[in-house]
A and B are shown apart, each in its own frame.
Chain A
C-alpha cells in the first residue's frame, strides 16, 4: 500500500484501492484526505477517542448477529386495527381478508341460507298504471274536452268498475264519490306529517313504497307546506285490484285526481331557501294512488304513489343559492349625477379630450 509520489499538495490514489477504475485517473486536490480501505478517518472524528469496553462486556449495539435479540427487548402487542373498519365501510376489504379476520376472532363464517319471515304489507308497484290524458286541467269545464274529462268513472263496465265492486265486497257501503273526501284528508295529513318530519305518523298515512320516496333528502331540511284550497272537487279516475302470492290476498289501488292550490318552501339546514317560496301560491294537478290491503281486517287506505305524466312541466332548477347578477345596460356614472351645468361642461370636456389629427394623420393635440 504505497502512496504515489507526493507532489505539492497532491496525492495519487493507491492502485489497489477499490475505486481505481473510476478515480485512478482523477487527481485528488485535498491534501489531508487519505483514501484507505481500513476505514474512513476524517478530521472531525480524530479528537473523539473510541470507547474502551472491558473484555467481559461485549458491544452488541451494532453487531448484526444480535439484531434479533435487540428486537426481542420490546414485548410485541397486537394493537387493535381501526383502519380495517374504515376500509370496510369504503368497500376496500376483499372477502378473503374478511374471512381471515373472522377466523382470527374465532367467528365461524355466516351460513348462506337464512330463513326470515316476510310480511307483505304493500305491493311495491302500481297495478295497471293510469295514463292521465294530455291537456288535463288546462281546458275549462265548460268546453267539450273539459266535459269529457268529467265523465263519471263509477258508471261503466270497465276494469275500474270491477275493482270498485271488489272493494265493495269487502266494505258494504263504499262509495267513491264520498270516499274522495277521506282521500283528500289522508293526502293533507301525509304532507303535513312530512313537513313536520314526523316519521311515526307518516307510516300510518303512507305505504312502505311511498315512505322512502317522500323522506328522501328530507332529513335535515325545514319544509313549510300549506294546502290553501282545492280548485276542483277530487275525483276517482282509476281503480284496480290484484292478488299477491295467494288467491285471497287482495290489494286495492285507487287513483284520485286532485286539483288544488298549495304553497311550498324548503329551507336547508341553515335556514336558506332552496326551493319554492312561502308567498307563492301554485295550482297543483296531481294523480295520487291510494292503496289498501283489502283482505286484512285492519287494512287502511294509505297514499301509495303519485303519477307524474310526461307532459307535465318540469319543476324549476332548485337548490341553487348563488345567482349571476344581471348586467345593467345603462350604468349611471358618478359624474353624471351632478347638475345639468356640469353636464354641459362635461360635453365640452369630451370635445377637448379628443386627440386632434391633421389631414395627414399626424397628431396635433393629444387627449
Chain B
C-alpha cells in the first residue's frame, strides 16, 4: 500500500501521531520499516485473509481474477442446507462487452440445459462464447464441486466486464486519422444447484394485458 495513501487515511494520521519525534525527523527508512511490519500483521496474502481470497488464473486463461477464488471457499457444515454454486470465468475474449450484455442477460435465471439450448440458436459470437463457458462450468461442477446431476443447475449470475482495450487507427481523408478500439471482455458465470426460481424476474413490473394503459 502506498505510504502516502496510508498517511492520508485516518489510521495513518493516528500512526503519524504515535511516532516519536526521532523517527519523524528521518522520514524514509524507519517509517517504511514500521509500515512493512504493520502490513505483515494484517494479512497473510497480498489481498485478503485466506487461501480462498487469492486471485486465481483459470487454466488456459491469462488474467488472475478474484471470481474463481469463490470456488475455493469451504463452508463448514452447520446442518442447514446450502445449494452448491460454481463460479467460472473466461478472460480476454475478443468481443465488445456492450454487445455481450444482451447475451449475458438473455441467459440469466434459466436452467443450464435451457440456456445451452437457447444459446445454440442465438446467432451471435457472444452466444458461442457463453455456451462454451456454461458447458465448462457444468463440467467443473460435476468433477470438482460434488454436484450430483448436471441438469440440476441454473444460471444465477451472468455478466461481462471490460477487459483490455487496444487502440489502433485508420486513415481518413485530408490527412486525418480516426481511433479504432479493439475491445476485449471477461465473461463471468455463476451456476447454482437446483431448479431455477420462478420469481427470478419478480422485481420487474409484470405486464398485465388487461390493464388499461
Contact = CB atoms under 8 A, between A and B. Distances in A.
B84 A269 contact: yes
A322 B148 contact: yes
B166 to A, nearest CB: 6
Contact of A321 (B60, B76, B78, B148): B148
B144 interface: yes
Instruction: Tell me the dominant secondary structure on chain B's binding face.
Output: loop
Contact of B170 (A73, A87, A222, A271): A73
Interface in A288-321: 319-321
Interface in B69-83: 71-78, 80-83
Nearest to A267: B77
Given A220-B145, A272-B82, A74 B180 contact: yes
A91 to B, nearest CB: 11
A319 B147 CA distance: 9
Interface residues of A, number: 29
A89 interface: yes
A270 B35 CA distance: 38
Given A79-B94, A220-B74, A268 B146 contact: yes
B201 interface: no
Contacts of B146: 268-270, 272, 274, 319, 321
B169 interface: yes
A222 B81 contact: no
A20 interface: no
Nearest to B59: A89
A270 B83 contact: yes
A222 B77 contact: yes
B91 A82 contact: yes
A271 B76 contact: yes
Instruction: Tell me the dominant secondary structure on chain A's binding face.
Output: loop
A67 interface: no
A86 B60 contact: yes
A77 interface: yes
B66 interface: no
B186 to A, nearest CB: 11
Which residue, A75, A87, A320, has most C-beta atoms of chain B within 10 A? A75
A320 B146 CA distance: 9
A244 B160 CA distance: 56
A327 B30 CA distance: 75
Contacts of A319: 146, 148
Interface in A122-162: none
A172 to B, nearest CB: 44
A197 to B, nearest CB: 9
A79 B166 contact: yes
B168 A77 contact: yes
A266 B172 CA distance: 67
A320 B93 contact: no
Interface string A61-100: 0000000000011110101101001111110000000000
B170 A90 contact: no
Contacts of A320: 148
Nearest to B193: A270
B144 A85 contact: no
A256 interface: no
Interface in B35-78: 59-62, 71-78
Contacts of A226: none
A86 to B, nearest CB: 4
Given A85-B61, A86-B61, A270 B72 contact: no
Interface of A: 72-75, 77, 79-80, 82, 85-90, 220-222, 267-274, 319-322
Given A88-B60, A269-B146, A271-B78, 10 more contacts: A80-B166, A89-B59, A89-B60, A220-B72, A268-B146, A270-B83, A270-B84, A271-B82, A272-B146, A321-B146
Interface of B: 59-62, 71-78, 80-85, 90-94, 144-146, 148-149, 166, 168-172, 180, 182, 184
22 contacts: A72-B171, A75-B169, A77-B166, A79-B182, A80-B92, A82-B62, A82-B94, A86-B90, A88-B60, A89-B59, A90-B60, A268-B84, A268-B145, A269-B84, A269-B146, A270-B75, A270-B83, A270-B84, A270-B85, A271-B77, A272-B146, A319-B146
